[in-house]
A and B are shown apart, each in its own frame.
Chain A
Amino acid sequence: MGVIPGYRRQLEIEGLMGIEDLAGTRPGHGEEVYADRQLVVARTALPAGLRFTGEIDASNAAAVPASLAVSEARDGAVHLDLSSLMFIDISGIRAFISAGENAAAGRRLLLHGLPEQLERVINVVGWDRLPGLSICKCGVEQE
């Protein structure tokens, strides 16, 4: 039996894990509205919205409504760039769906760059019709 104590710290020492380093290093990153050890949420200017980088699970799914609360809509739409989201669990997907359902009238949430894993999970758990959310397949990365 192999017991693994302090597994993540070991990885961090070896430089194999560095989610924290992602903050501010991507070109075009705007002001950060949320950051923890596995997730950074930053504003995007064109189109107006948020970019999620890292991983969302039960420990930080609350970052979704918290970030959306300070996001700005232009022409009634908030664009959410998920192309750098490396993992999202069901509680994270649930957070986006709840945000879509609770969005103020006239405010739409547009999801860009859904990772394949996220799309698979959404389909399998029966959320393929997402109320209040639009999945944008425009293929154009935001800047």
Chain B
Amino acid sequence: MSAVPARVDSFRHEALFYAGQDRFVAGTLPFVLDGLEQDEAVLVVESAPRIALLREALGADANQVEFADMAAVGSNPARIVPAWQEFVERHSNQRRLRGIGEPIWAERSPSELAECQRHESLLNVAFAGGPPWWLLCPYDTEGLDGSVVEEAKRSHPFVWEPAGQTTSDRYRGLDASGAPFDWPLEPPPASAVKFGFDGVTLGDVRWFIGHYGNAAGLWPREAGDLVAVINEIATNSVRHGGGHGELSTWTDGHAVICEVRDTGRYDRPLADRRRPGPEAGAPRGLWLANQLCDLVQIRSLPQGTVVRVHKYLPHAA
């Protein structure tokens, strides 16, 4: 076991393995109290029941802790890095800080789980070299598959198991954390509607998505959001992805899913989760996709780039 610092001098990304809700407070309370004792800013992004447990255990000290509901912040896991970024920017000039964030729970769909695991790796890249802070990511080993725990050891440089805190000998490292992402996606079903587009047929893409979304059961405003998002992704294909692409659209009863494939290279791993600045030329399409849609899956494959967007149907949300 390596020595555990009282405070950190760089970004420390640590997984906490606990078994069941009862063990959650035992694992997280000392971490929060240590932070408060050192007058650090503390943000806890957790499920509502776990926030309630931690609040109760903290008593009056809970007033010094910021809480946010992970179901709201991180239902789309690509929105979690910007939330931490905002926390770090708000405090790091004045105070040291630490956070608790549990993005993975048993009910996550397989697609959401894959993006949460990508998110965990990207945290290493997003905060490397920035202000020092300590992020603890609890994993409930009682509800999660063993493979999820294994992956957490690859995405976290430090792990905290019942036996104690230590460096993770499985950690994949900073470079691999931000390497182009090529985890396989389930192929679209046979029912998917596919057609090609180019720079003069973006209007067809919009018309089709709008009507498909409405017919599948999205509210008109939600369908309009999906139109705006797919138009931007298709525009990226036209401008940066070889001038054309292929759109596939289907529904699985839970979501309308649109996938754009092109021959472009996507090699900026945080491009979809860096809040754009005010300058006119900054890229905004993938940021828009993550803000207006429920899940965005980007894959860099030898033959090109795939962007798959999920918009959840109202009754399924």
Q: A interface vs B, CB < 8 Å?
A: 1-5, 7-8, 11, 17, 37-38, 55, 57-59, 87, 89-91, 94, 97-98, 101, 116-117, 120-121, 124-127, 129, 131
Contacts and interface: CB of A to CB of B under 8 A. Distances in A.
Contact of A55 (B203, B224, B225, B238): B203
Contacts of A101: 280
Nearest to A90: B284
B278 A8 contact: no
A89 B225 contact: no
Nearest to A118: B228
Contacts of B316: none
Given A3-B195, A87-B206, A98-B280, 7 more contacts: A7-B201, A58-B235, A89-B228, A89-B231, A90-B232, A126-B278, A127-B278
A8 B201 contact: yes
A59 B288 contact: no
Contacts of A120: 225, 292
B287 interface: yes
Interface stretch (B4-12, B59-67, B186-194, B263-271): B186-194
Interface of B is mostly: helix
B42 interface: no
Interface residues of B, number: 36
A110 B200 CA distance: 30
B7 to A, nearest CB: 33
Contacts of A3: 194-195
A92 to B, nearest CB: 10
A66 to B, nearest CB: 17
Interface in B258-281: 275-278, 280-281
B108 interface: no
Most buried by B among A2, A3, A57, A120: A57
B75 interface: no
19 contacts: A1-B194, A2-B193, A3-B194, A3-B195, A7-B201, A7-B208, A8-B204, A57-B203, A57-B231, A58-B238, A59-B199, A90-B284, A94-B281, A116-B221, A117-B221, A120-B225, A121-B228, A121-B288, A124-B291
Contacts of B195: 3-5, 7
Nearest to A88: B228
B86 to A, nearest CB: 13
Nearest to A37: B203
B202 A90 contact: no
Contacts of B202: 57-59
A9 B84 CA distance: 48
A8 B281 CA distance: 31
A90 B288 contact: yes
Nearest to A124: B291
B261 to A, nearest CB: 14
Contacts of B276: 125-126
Nearest to A100: B280
Interface in B202-252: 202-204, 206-208, 221, 224-225, 227-228, 231-232, 235, 238-239
Given A117-B228, A120-B225, A124-B291, A55 B285 contact: no
A3 B247 CA distance: 10
A14 B287 CA distance: 37
Contact of A91 (B201, B227, B235, B292): B235
Contacts of A127: 278
B192 A1 contact: yes
A101 B200 CA distance: 28
Most buried by A among B208, B232, B277, B281: B232
B280 A97 contact: yes
Contacts of A98: 280
Most buried by A among B202, B208, B285: B202
Nearest to A87: B206
A1 B239 contact: no
Interface in B276-308: 276-278, 280-281, 284-285, 287-288, 291-292
A4 B287 contact: no
B34 to A, nearest CB: 36
Nearest to A117: B224
Most buried by A among B193, B239, B280: B280
Contacts of B281: 94
